[in-house]
Amino acid sequence: MANAIVRTDGAGGGFVEFVRILLRGTGQVMFQNSAWTGLLFLAGIFWGAYAEGQGLVAWGALLGVTVSTATGYLLRFPAHDGAQGLWGFNGVLVGCAFPTFMGSTVWMWLALVLCAALTTWVRTGFNRVMAPWKVNSFTFPFVFCTWMFLLAARAMHGLPAAHMSDPTLPAAFASLESLRFADLAVYWLKGIGQVFLIDSWVTGILFLAGLALCDRWAALWAAIGSALALLTVIALQASGAEIAAGLYGYSPVLTAIALATVFYRPNVRSAVWAVLGILVTVFIQAGMYVLMAPVGIATLTAPFCIATWLFLLPLVRFDETEQPDHSNWDAANKPHLAPSRSAAADEK
């Protein structure tokens, strides 16, 4: 199994290949095994971070993916996983989260390095635990580890919780004020950009371009996921501030890509399954906002993980002749991904 721990000499290939692996790690946040996609994702992160006056988030992302990938080399985890960027995608999210929620101190950056490294072996451990159920841990290593560090920041002055919300019980909130098409388009694109915690519609465009470069189905379903989530929360009158920031869109985006294009072959049945998954993710997102408000930490991508597990654990067959295996998204395990990921092979 691709997620088993074996002794290797690392992914190899020299500095250029290491850079490609870092870029693939960034692309793998949205299940894309392509360095070119990862490059566009990084471009989106840097653009959005600096446009919002949070340039440290971009450098945190670069540091996080580097540390988590290097950790895979040091621990001699499977070279095949490393070559696909699977050591890095949790780390890049850690790198985005720490400068987003905490003030910039030496201790914050040291904690970022520790947490990013931690996600590499936590991912391997979680995947081993989940292997009997034939599902993957996805971004939950990032979620779990980051939650622990953010909670610790409440007790440690050296990790200033400068940008974290105050712990509070849910209260009244304002509904969305503007329903103009231009504003709705911005909210929709921000929902895609927020996958990396970036509050920028331009970033959303760059992310869609990166997805389309590798897999047009993934780009289409990312767009559908954010749009359907947006329409749902507007209809149900959720918090206008969170809608406008795209905070209801990013987990449905990931759920949509996973269910409609990665773990099932794109077709009518998987499309219906994905639409249901998107809607369930929106409700889980709203519920987790209420759940996490008293401790004042973000839900991160937990709603995506929970919703996708709920839809993959039953191992629904659809068009498969054998029981599906959702433990990883390697083309060897999901043959329908091989043609759409040819760009990754062309890089070698």
Other CB atoms closer than 10 Å to residue 166's CB: what's the count? Answer: 7
Task: Give Cα separations from 273 to 141, 188, 222, 280, 292 (angstroms).
Answer: 25, 21, 15, 11, 28
Identify the band that residue 8 occupies on the pLDDT scale cut at 50, 70 and 90: very low
Identify the pLDDT of residue 1: 30
Q: pLDDT band at 322, cuts 50/70/90?
A: confident
- The tokens describing 93, both together, are 């999210």
pTM for this prediction: 0.91
What is the 3-class SS of the chain, one letter each residue?
CCCCCCCCCCCCCHHHHHHHHHHHHHHHHHCCCCHHHHHHHHHHHHHHHHHCCCHHHHHHHHHHHHHHHHHHHHCCCCHHHHHCCCCCHHHHHHHHHHHHHCCCCHHHHHHHHHHHHHHHHHHHHHHHHHHHHCCCCCCHHHHHHHHHHHHHHCCCCCCCCCCCCCCCCCCCCCCCCCCCHHHHHHHHHHHHHHHHCCCCHHHHHHHHHHHHHHCHHHHHHHHHHHHHHHHHHHHCCCCHHHHHCCCCCHHHHHHHHHHHHHCCCCCHHHHHHHHHHHHHHHHHHHHHHHHHHHHCCCCCCHHHHHHHHHHHCCCCCCCCCCCCCCCCCCCCCCHHHCHHHHHHHHCC
Ramachandran angles phi, psi of 7, nearest 5°: -85, 125
> What is the chain's Cα-based Rg?
19
At residue 321, does pLDDT exceed 90? no
CA distance 175 to 48: 25
pLDDT tens digit string along 109-127?
Answer: 999 999 999 999 999 999 9
pLDDT of residue 6: 34
Average the pLDDT over 230-254 and give the result. Answer: 95
Cα–Cα distance measured from residue 309 to residue 312, given in angstroms and rounded to the nearest whole number = 5
> Does residue 10 register a pLDDT over 50?
no
**Token pair in block for residue 344:** 């990754």
Res 155: pLDDT: 85
Task: Retrieve residue 163's tokens.
Answer: 């940008």
User: pLDDT tens digit string along 265-314?
Assistant: 999 999 999 999 999 999 999 999 999 998 889 999 999 999 999 999 99
pLDDT at residue 45, rounded to an integer: 98
